[in-house]
């Protein structure tokens, strides 16, 4: 499983990239609003993220029609070669996904909450599919089991050649809120987890790791002073 960071905050992206295990970034309009992003600076901001991270950087369309999404997608994809256009799984979104994939533009189909949405997204040429775990939990459903179903269903088929070139579709486990969400996504075989910065930090922490380091340091002090 690859790790993406789910944020538009440049400091967080820089720090996560410095850990050496970051494969990409996802953003959405809410994450951009959260950092106080300005409309006129959006594309420049995505360009700044692409300078920090070589891997896929998802930038979302805010259009509601296929035509608008295609126009947004072309503009966003022109920012940098690693930009992935994020499009919601609606009829208009699927049509735009097909059109952009046919032009060689990679699309991350987002706001996916069931198996049929995911398979339709793959058939429309999505490069990435983003099932949302936490938001499904929020309405009293089981986000992890929904993610497991989607991973299993997509793995039943070979989607190479359906999207851009012969690239395979990848599942991005999204709306992850805890280390357990990330662990379970890995166990069920999600290709990627996109993780909020604070949760990503927690993913590398364990109290026994800290305690072990303290013990090693204390014992090494004894060796130095012997």
Q: Which of residues 28-47 bind ligand G3P (CB under 6 A)?
A: 28, 31
H/E element holding 111?
strand 107-112
- Judge whether 1 and 190 are in contact, CB under 8 Å: yes
The only residue of 3, 6, 85, 188 in contact with ligand G3P, by rule CB under 6 A: 6
Catalytic residue among 2, 38, 86, 222: 86
Alpha-helical runs (H) found in 89-178: 91-102, 115-123, 134-138, 143-155
Smallest distance, ligand G3P to C-beta of residue 212, A: 32
- Judge whether 122 and 160 are in contact, CB under 8 Å: no
The sign of the CA dihedral 196, 192, 166, 55 is: positive
Nearer to ligand G3P, 26 or 146 (CB): 26
Total residues at the site for ligand G3P (CB under 6 A)?
11
The only residue of 77, 100, 169, 174 in contact with ligand G3P, by rule CB under 6 A: 174
DSSP assigned state of 23: E
Nearer to ligand G3P, 69 or 192 (CB): 192
Q: Which residues contact 225 (CB under 8 A, 6 or more apart)?
A: none
201 included as an active-site residue? no
Q: Using CB under 6 A as the criterion, what x/- string covers residues 121-160 for binding ligand G3P?
A: -----------x-xx-------------------------
Neighbours of 90 (CB within 10 A): 16
- Judge whether 182 and 161 are in contact, CB under 8 Å: no
Q: Which of residues 45-74 bind ligand G3P (CB under 6 A)?
A: none
175 near ligand G3P, rule: CB under 6 A: yes
Q: How far apart, in whole angstroms, are the C-alpha atoms of residue 44 and residue 95?
A: 27
Nearer to ligand G3P, 103 or 142 (CB): 142
The residues that are catalytic are: 86
Q: Which residues bind ligand G3P (CB under 6 A)?
A: 6, 26, 28, 31, 132, 134-135, 174-175, 177, 194
């Amino acid at each position: 499983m690859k790790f993406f960071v789910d944020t538009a905050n440049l400091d967080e992206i820089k720090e996560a990239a410095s850990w050496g295990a970051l494969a990409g970034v996802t953003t959405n309009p809410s994450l951009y609003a959260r950092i106080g992003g300005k409309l006129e600076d959006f594309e420049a901001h995505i360009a700044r993220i692409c300078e920090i991270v070589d891997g896929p950087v998802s930038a979302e369309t805010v259009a509601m029609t296929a035509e608008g999404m295609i126009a947004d997608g072309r503009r966003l994809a022109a920012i940098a070669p690693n930009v992935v256009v994020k499009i919601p799984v609606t009829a208009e979104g699927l049509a735009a996904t097909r059109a952009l994939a046919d032009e060689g533009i990679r699309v991350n189909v987002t706001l996916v909450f069931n198996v049929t949405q995911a398979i339709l997204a793959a058939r429309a040429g999505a490069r990435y599919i983003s099932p949302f775990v936490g938001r499904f939990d929020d309405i009293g459903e089981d986000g992890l089991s929904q993610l497991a179903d989607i991973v299993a269903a997509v793995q039943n088929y070979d989607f190479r050649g359906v999207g851009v070139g012969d690239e395979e579709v990848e599942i991005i486990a999204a709306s992850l809120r805890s280390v357990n969400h990330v662990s379970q996504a890995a166990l069920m075989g999600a290709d990627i987890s996109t993780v909020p910065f604070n949760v990503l930090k927690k993913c590398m922490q364990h109290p026994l790791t800290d305690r072990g380091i303290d013990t090693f340091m204390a014992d090494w002090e004894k060796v130095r002073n012997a």
